[in-house]
Amino acid sequence: MSGIILPGADGVLYQRDRAWHPAADTPGYKSTTFRAPKHSLLALGPTKSEMTGPTFGHEKLGPLDNDLIRNFSQDGTEAIGQRMIVYGQVLDENARAVPGTLVEFWQANAGGRYRHKKEAYLAALDPNFAGFGRAVTDENGFYSFRTVKPGAYPWPNGGNDWRPAHIHFSVFGHAFAQRLITQMYFEGDPMIWQCPIVATINDKAAIDQLTARLDRHNTTPMDALAYRFDIVLRGRRSTMFENKLEGN
Ligand SMILES: O=C(O)c1ccc(O)c(O)c1
């Protein structure tokens, strides 16, 4: 990582090393070739509207929004699968907690199937599991949600490639135009090292930062395991974000 220090509104910003992020076109992950820009990028400075709004109304959160085990229940039946709590802290580049930020998550069910109209995998849908939720970080920057462990699933990239169990994350900033997106994996999963999407990341430490740790101290006894996944928004310890190709 580079250590270039830029003046920021409230101190210093550590500029992202652009070489750290995967190239836009990584042939082992075939669809990137079709998506990658064919022309050089134009830098568009943010305008006031992107910096200031619109914002998320925190009062809009429902009581089950962070409980994927129950938030799509049709008749009180809970979702099928390995029950777990996923939690963590959202931090800025100086390891300060980021409170009041909207974190969204979405995932496949325990069999590895998404509830999505374009989903083609043969694994069964769980009628009581939608696979998405959201939470707002507390005053110490912590989010948490309850869910079931997503299954691994195949995708046609190389004929028979498999995605490791993973959960997609989005974190909003002070306005909807400020959004970071990433994926979380599970400690100890051998599928991580066989995944063509993970393989686009050259830095083992970056992959490690996308890997949630099993946390036996925060389990719900006789109910749910716990995994911790911290998210660092930028700087030298930044989490790898899929949609953040440059900038700070
Ligand atoms: O970009 C894609 O093609 C792609 C395929 C499978 C995934 O699980 C995913 O997150 C992205």
Question: Is the pLDDT score of 7 beyond 60?
Answer: no
State if residue 244 touches ligand 1 by the CB under 6 angstroms criterion.
no
* 109 domain residue, yes or no: yes
Q: What's the Rg (C-alpha) of the chain?
A: 19
Domain range for 203 = 53-233
Q: Judge whether 45 lies within some domain.
A: no
Is pLDDT at 62 greater than 80 in this prediction? yes
Residue 206 alpha carbon to ligand 1 centre in Å: 19
Is 180 inside any structural domain?
yes
Q: What is the pLDDT of residue 114?
A: 98
**Ligand 1 binding pocket includes 176 (Cβ within 6 Å):** no
pLDDT tens digits, residue range 149-201? 999 999 999 999 999 999 999 999 888 788 999 999 999 999 999 999 999 99
Given the residues 14, 29, 87, 114, the one annotated as active site: 114
* 244 located within any domain: no
pLDDT at 247 over 70: no
Q: How far is residue 33's CA from residue 60's CA, in Å, rounded to a whole number?
A: 39
* Number of domains making up the chain: 1
Note whether residue 39 is domain-resident.
Answer: no
CA count, 13 A, side-chain hemisphere, 188: 4
What is the chain's percent helix, strand, coil content, to nearest 5?
15, 30, 60
ipTM value: 0.92
Whether residue 153 lies in the annotated active site: yes
Residue 10 has pLDDT above 60, yes or no: no
* Three-state DSSP state, 169: strand
Within a domain: 186: yes
Instruction: State the pTM of this model.
Output: 0.92
Burial of residue 65 (number of CB atoms within 10 Å: 0-12, 13-18, 19+): middle
Ligand 1 atom closest to the Cα of residue 30 is: 3
Which DSSP symbol is given to 164?
P
pLDDT band at 16 (very low <50, low <70, confident <90, very high): low
Answer yes or no: 174 catalytic: no
Confidence of residue 244 (pLDDT cuts 50, 70, 90): confident
Residue 14: active-site member: no
Euclidean distance between CA atoms 111 and 94, whole angstroms: 39
Q: 87 with 142: CB under 8 angstroms?
A: yes
The CATH number of residue 190's host domain is 2.60.130.10
What's the rounded Cα separation, in Å, for the pair 229 and 103? 12
Mutate to test the pocket of ligand 1, among 155, 157, 195 (most ligand atoms within 8 A of CB): 155
**Which residue puts its alpha carbon closest to atom 6 of ligand 1?**
155
In a domain, 36, yes or no: no
Query: Would you say the CB of residue 163 lies under 6 angstroms from ligand 1?
Result: yes
pLDDT tens digits, residue range 84-103? 999 999 999 899 999 999 99
Q: Which atom of ligand 1 is nearest to the CA of 155?
A: 6
DSSP string, 124-146: PPPTT---EEEEE--TTSEEEEE
Mean pLDDT score of the chain, rounded to an integer?
91
Does 221 reside within a domain? yes
